[in-house]
Structure 1
Amino acid sequence: MKKLTSLAIAGLLLSASTSFAAGELHIYNWGNYTSPDLIKKFEKQYDVKVTLDTYDSNESMMAKVKAGGSGYDIVVPSDYAVDIMKKDGLLEATEPNKMENFKNMKPEMVNLYYDEGRHYTVPWQIGITSLSVDTGVYKGDIDTWAVIFNPPAELKGRINVLDDMVSVIHAAEHYKGFKLCTSDKAELKQINELLLAAKPAWRTFSYDGITLLQSKDVDASIIWDGAAYRARANRATLKFGFPKEGVEGFVDNVAVLKGAKNMENAKLFQNFIMDPENAAMISNFATYSNGITGSEKFLDKDLGASAELKRPADFKVQFSPPCSAEVIELYNKIWTNLRK
């Protein structure tokens, strides 16, 4: 190989750095989840034109990616979806743990089951699935899943449940003290009976707990913490519960698709959102927590002090791997029976 002079090497390095500090980046994220100001800042800082498309579920995103030719560089899968996409060879190992801003990631976010050591992903937003209750209607204990599965008289017929099989069954498993994704037939029989007994007290199955609570169509709902914060903005008597039986947590993550056309810009974006000020921009828009140390001082005052995002010190949050195919088949039978 022909030797290069130091001047020539410097020229090549400069050329390489400018090539990925300009160009395009194509992002595929959940709807109403991306701060326009964050995108403008990234575009200006790196001279990169960003395009954004949105989806409404991990499953629809994965189906599009698996079909091939999506043209996206970045997707934002939830924890279990990262696990699936890694195993299917759909994600690039971009090594965020070697990036400049990785030092800002909270230690508890580094070694989660779906990306041990953070070789593929960077946290976007973090939340829990719990419940919100109008304390003007019901003044009892809301820190229990009994509100949903053995509801008091005041709330009967006034409850919304997520139209989400796994989230609802996992909540029931927490309430019963079973492990998540239980395959025990006797335990699943109890879950089935619990759900069927509770169903007459529920009014709706919907993902849109925010609208239902704000319109006062319901007085209680299974809901995510960030969504509960938004709902309370127009219904001050709402309170977010922290069930003593425990809840399931979720982490949505910025991942880069295998063979992404704009690979270096995608890596830049992963590093960019590990900056505390930028992570706070995401949270201020989407109203969830993030995994970046130091972002707290940049949060909007109301959000940073919100009861929804400030969890009790001893509160139990579980990040659960995907259930096996066999368990999902049993879940499907329970859910089909419930939704008749």
Structure 2
Amino acid sequence: MIRRTPLALSALFAFGLAGTAQAAGTLHFANWSDYFPPELLKKFEQDTGIKATLDAYESNETLLAKLKAGGGAYDVVVPSDSFIQIMVQDGLLQPFDTSKLPNLKNLKANFQHLGFDPEHAYSVPYLWGTTGYSYDSQKVPGGALEESWKPFFEPPAELKGKVVALNSIEDLYIAASHYLGIDQCTEDPKDAKKVQDLLLAQKPMLAMYSSDGTIERMAAGEVVMHQQWNGAYHRAHAQRASLVYVYPKEGVHLFIDNLAIPKDASNVAEAHTFINWMMQPENIAAASNFAKYNNAVEGSDAFMDKELFDDPAINTPQDKLARLKTFELCSPKALALRSKVWTKLKK
């Protein structure tokens, strides 16, 4: 098996620059918190003449609610793979005019036909990564934890109040499903009840549910264990060397976040200009260097920091590749069960 770089999943899954014409206009961009370099937005303004603003949200669920309330406030958003078809089915995204996206040709071959949007009619990849968890080796019993979801879902008594879960039913439910050996898209209420029971038993051990501040919380030693995205871990580890990223043996969710245009976007031409601009290798590489996640654009590795290639949390070791689990589209019945579990958990 060929060793993969931070730009490819050789076990799982054309450098071309298109000039961006000078334009006048406005772009309202919404993205996950701390997931886009401010200086890159300034470069976009300089390159295109388009004035750009950036808003932030903490989860796919928050973005979905914002779009349902009226997506006209945003011209480009960043939903994850699992939410693309939900938003399309709800009429919340508009199809691309692909004639305005010549840089689609820059996508790596393994990202050109993704199951959730095979023809990139509504989305193109932004960054991708994994959702595991991290812990502080100086603060856990024995200095090391099993490479399993067990220490996270059933933490030692000493860690009560020192563990944080992401504030997302998708991230929690999928991880719990992997740990229990249950299909994440199960339509069986009994299976969903097993996930619910696990999460309810874990809840008293948690300090909080939070998808914001994961980097700062772990870097400062405020908590000992945190469900975390690998890029966030990388940034925390740079500040606290005792942190360890875990690829649980039961399975690790691999996510792809995507650029998309809301149905009610006010500045559609500018949105296309921005998305096409982001598919230039040096631009998407700047986002990778900032957020510490991989991207899907051919040629961007020439502009990326070497440290991304050296971190096993980013450059998954060969013996961990089989643990990576890609997106599965669940039925409405399965998603309804998932929603019921979340409602019960957050009461």
TM-score (norm 2): 0.82
TM alignment of 1:238-249, pairs within 5 A: 238-249=243-254
**CA 1:193 to 1:76, structure 2 compared with 1: closer, same or farther past 3 Å?**
closer
Q: What is the identity, as a one-letter code, of the residue corresponding to 1:188?
A: A
Contact 1:34 1:286 in 2 (8 A): yes
CA distance in 2, matches of 1:81, 1:182: 17
Q: What is the identity, as a one-letter code, of the residue corresponding to 2:186?
A: T
Q: What is the identity, as a one-letter code, of the residue corresponding to 1:281?
A: A
Q: Name 1:144's counterpart in structure 2.
A: 148
TM alignment of 1:76-155, pairs within 5 A: 76-96=78-98, 99-138=101-140, 139-152=143-156, 155=159
Unaligned stretches of 5+ residues in structure 1: 1-16
Contact 1:90 1:257 in 2 (8 A): yes
Structure 1 moving runs of 4+ over 6 Å:
17-20
Q: Name 1:14's counterpart in structure 2.
A: none
3-state SS of the aligned residue for 1:120? coil
Q: Name 1:36's counterpart in structure 2.
A: 38
Which protein shows a greater Rg? 1
Q: What is the identity, as a one-letter code, of the residue corresponding to 1:118?
A: H
1:323: Cα distance to partner?
A: 4.1
CA distance in 2, matches of 1:189, 1:276: 45
CA distance in 1, matches of 2:92, 2:205: 42
Q: Name 1:265's counterpart in structure 2.
A: 270
Q: What is the identity, as a one-letter code, of the residue corresponding to 1:279?
A: I
The equivalent position to 2:173 in structure 1, one of 157, 169, 172, is 169
CA distance in 1, matches of 2:259, 2:170: 23
- The alignment-based identity, stated in percent, is 41
Contact 2:21 2:48 in 1 (8 A): no
The equivalent position to 1:190 in structure 2, one of 175, 188, 194, is 194
Contact 1:171 1:248 in 2 (8 A): yes
1:239: Cα distance to partner?
A: 1.0
Question: Does residue 299 in structure 1 map to residue 304 in structure 2?
Answer: yes
Contact 1:296 1:304 in 2 (8 A): no
Unaligned stretches of 5+ residues in structure 2: 1-18
TM-score (norm 1): 0.83
**CA 1:184 to 1:268, structure 2 compared with 1: closer, same or farther past 3 Å?**
same
Q: Paired residues, what number?
A: 324
Q: Name 1:23's counterpart in structure 2.
A: 25
Q: Name 1:279's counterpart in structure 2.
A: 284
User: Bigger CA drift: 93-102 or 29-38?
Assistant: 93-102
Q: What is the identity, as a one-letter code, of the residue corresponding to 2:196?
A: N
